[in-house]
Amino acid sequence: MGVSDWPIWTKEVSEFPWTYDEQETCYFLEGDVVVTPDGGEPVKMGKGDLVTFPAGMSCSWKIDKDVKKHYQFG
């Protein structure tokens, strides 16, 4: 997948809403996060997880430990 060549995104402990305009695949290098899809159940993710978020998904992010992740859109 070439994950190590993807850009890196970092974010400190925080909470915020998010909507994905396009599909995102990410690989967590650091952090602990709870992502709650609108109308759905919370999902925990963090260091070592490879996650794909579908286009059009709206959710809330709760970052409990600073995040560092590789990401790829499309």
Q: What is the pTM of this model?
A: 0.94
Task: Walk along the chain (74 residues) and give the pLDDT tens digit of each residue.
Answer: 999 999 999 999 999 999 999 999 999 999 999 999 999 999 999 999 999 999 999 999 999 999 999 999 99
Question: How many independent structural domains does the chain possess?
Answer: 1
Strand segments, DSSP code E, in 1-74 are 8-11, 14-19, 24-37, 43-46, 50-53, 58-73
In the chain, where does DSSP find H-type helix? none
